[in-house]
Structure 1
Amino acid sequence: MFTASLAVIGSFLVSQVAAHGGVTSYVIGLTTYPGWQPYNSATGQSSIERPYSSYDPILSVSASTFSCNDNGQASAGQLSATVPAGTTIVAKWPQWTHAQGPVMVYMANCNGPCTSANSNSLKWFKIAQTGLISGTVGNGKWGTGLVQDTLQYSATIPAKLAPGNYLIRHELLALHQANTPQFYPECAQLIVTGSGTGVPSGSYLTSFPGGYSASDPNININIYDATTAARTTYTVPGPAVWTGN
C-alpha cells in the first residue's frame, strides 16, 4: 500500500512538471546557446540565460520573481551573446502543454553590463507578441498553442535598436485555469551591436513587477465563461510592440 502510494505521488509530481515549461536554449544565427537547466545544480552552469529554479508558474503579477523568474540577479557563471540588431532569436522549450494564452517578448537596456543589473529595476519594451490568432477565445488558436506545437518562438531584435547591453525576456501567459493566470518568464543576456539609434521611450516602456494589473480583464479572465468564450478578439497585456519605426 505504501509503495503504491509513493508511485501515485511520483506520477502526480511528474505530470505537474510536464504540464509546465521554461526556455532552455536559444538559437541565434547559426549558433545554439544552451540555456539554464533549472533542475540541475547551479554549480558549474554557464549560460546566457539568467538562472531560474523550476518550470512552475508565477501566479502573482506583483511577485518579486516576475521579471525573470528569479531574484533579479545574474548567475555566478553568467554569459552574454553578441548579436547584431535585426537578428532573429529563436527560444526553445523542452516541453509545453498549455494551448490558451499569449506569447510576449520584451527587452530591457541594462545601462551598463547586464551581469551587474537587477532585472526588477529595469525598463522593458515589447518587441514581439502573439495572442489569439484565429477562432474564439474559448476555442481558438493562440500564441502558446504555437509553442505547444513547435516548442519554439521566434522574435527579431528591431534593426534600428541602439547598440548596448540588453536582457531579452520571453513570457508565456497560460489562461487555461479560469481567473488564475499563470506566467512563465525567462531572460537571457545580449550584447546588441550595429549602427542603430533607436531608443524606446514613453508608453513603450514598462516595469516588472508593476507592468500588469491583476484586474486587467485580459489577465483575470475566464475563457470558459460563455460570453467570454465566444469573443473573437483579445488584447495582449502590456505596452504596444516597439518596432523601431
Structure 2
Amino acid sequence: MTFSPLIVLATCIVSQVLAHGGVVSYTIGGQTFAGWQPYNDPSSQSSIERPYSSYDPILSATASTISCNNNGQASAHQLTTSVPAGTQIVAHWSQWTHAQGPVMVYMAKCPGLCTAANSATLDWFKIAETGLISGTLPSGVWGTGQVMDTLSYTTSIPSSLAPGEYLIRHELLALHQANTPQFYPECAQLTVTGSGTKTPSGSYLVKFPGGYSASDPSININIYTTEAASTTTYKVPGPPVWNGQ
C-alpha cells in the first residue's frame, strides 16, 4: 500500500498539533473568557489572551518569544478584563499529553495600559508553581501530569496585590525529552482592582527572556538516568513564589 505525500504531510501535522497544547480559555470569578485560537484567523479575534501562533513548544530558554509565546505585542483587538485581587483564575487547555514537568504562573505589572506594553520588557513575578508532587523524576506525579488529567490549572491572584494593569502568564515546561526542554507559555491581560498595597521586588522579579538559563539544572535535565530513577525532589526553575507579603 502506498500513501500520497499530501496524506503523509497532513498526518505529520496533525500528530504534531496533538502532541502539544496551549491555553484556550479562562474561568475568572466563575465567568468564562474565550482565549486565543492559534489556528484561526488572527484579524477576526478579540480576547483577553495575548495572540500566539501554534501549540508548538519553544525550545530555547532564552528565546525572544518566551515571555508570551509571541513577539511581545498585544493583538489588534486586544481585550482586558477587570479582576478583584484574591480572585481565583482557572486556565484551560484543549489538549495536553506530556506528564513530566512543572506548571508555573507569573504576573507582571504594566507601566500603563498593558495593550501598549511589550511583554519582553516587563518584570515578572511568580504567584504559583507545581513541580514534582510525589514519586520519582521519570515516573512520579507532576504538575503537568495533573494538567494532562484535568486540562486545567487553578490559582488565585494574591489578595494584597496593588491595583493596576497586569499580564498573567501560564507556563508548562515539558521534560519528557532528555536535555530538550519544551516551554509552553501564554499570557492574558487583567486589570486588578481592590485595596491591596503590595508589589514584589528584588529576587522575586525576572525578565523573559532572562529568567531562565539553558544551563539551569532544572531545565537542562535528563529524567531517565539511573540517578533520576531514585530522585524524589525537583526545584522548579525561576524565582521563588511571591505570596503577597
TM-score, with length taken from structure 1 = 0.98
Counterpart of 1:59?
A: 59
Displacement of 1:2 in angstroms is 6.6
After TM superposition, the structure 1 = structure 2 runs for residues 1-245 of structure 1, keeping only pairs within 5 Å, are 3-245=3-245
Displacement of 1:6 in angstroms is 2.8
Give CA deviations for 1:149-198 in whole Å, capped at 9, x if unaligned.
00000010000000000000000000000000000000000000000001
Secondary structure of residue in 2 paired with 1:24: strand
Give CA deviations for 1:196-222 in whole Å, capped at 9, x if unaligned.
001100000001001101001110000
For the residues of structure 1 that align with 2:193 and 2:154, how far apart are their CA atoms? 19
Q: Which runs of 5+ in 1 are unaligned?
A: none
Name the stretch that deviates more: 117-126 or 11-20.
11-20
For the residues of structure 1 that align with 2:83 and 2:201, how far apart are their CA atoms? 22
Secondary structure of residue in 1 paired with 2:15: helix
Q: Which runs of 5+ in 2 are unaligned?
A: none
Which residue identity is paired with 1:241? V
Give CA deviations for 1:93-125 in whole Å, capped at 9, x if unaligned.
000000000000000000210000000000000
For the residues of structure 2 that align with 1:62 and 1:144, how far apart are their CA atoms? 21
Displacement of 1:19 in angstroms is 0.5
For the residues of structure 2 that align with 1:20 and 1:147, how far apart are their CA atoms? 12
Secondary structure of residue in 2 paired with 1:206: coil
Secondary structure of residue in 1 paired with 2:44: coil
Secondary structure of residue in 1 paired with 2:187: strand
For the residues of structure 1 that align with 2:229 and 2:236, how far apart are their CA atoms? 16
For the residues of structure 2 that align with 1:49 and 1:195, how far apart are their CA atoms? 25
The runs of at least 4 aligned residues of structure 1 exceeding 2 Å deviation read 1-9
For the residues of structure 2 that align with 1:185 and 1:229, how far apart are their CA atoms? 28
Which residue identity is paired with 1:184? Y
For the residues of structure 1 that align with 2:3 and 2:178, how far apart are their CA atoms? 35
For the residues of structure 2 that align with 1:76 and 1:185, how far apart are their CA atoms? 20
Q: Percent identity?
A: 72
Displacement of 1:9 in angstroms is 2.7
Displacement of 1:3 in angstroms is 4.3
For the residues of structure 2 that align with 1:229 and 1:168, how far apart are their CA atoms? 34
TM-score, with length taken from structure 2 = 0.98
Paired residue total = 245
For the residues of structure 1 that align with 2:196 and 2:25, how far apart are their CA atoms? 27
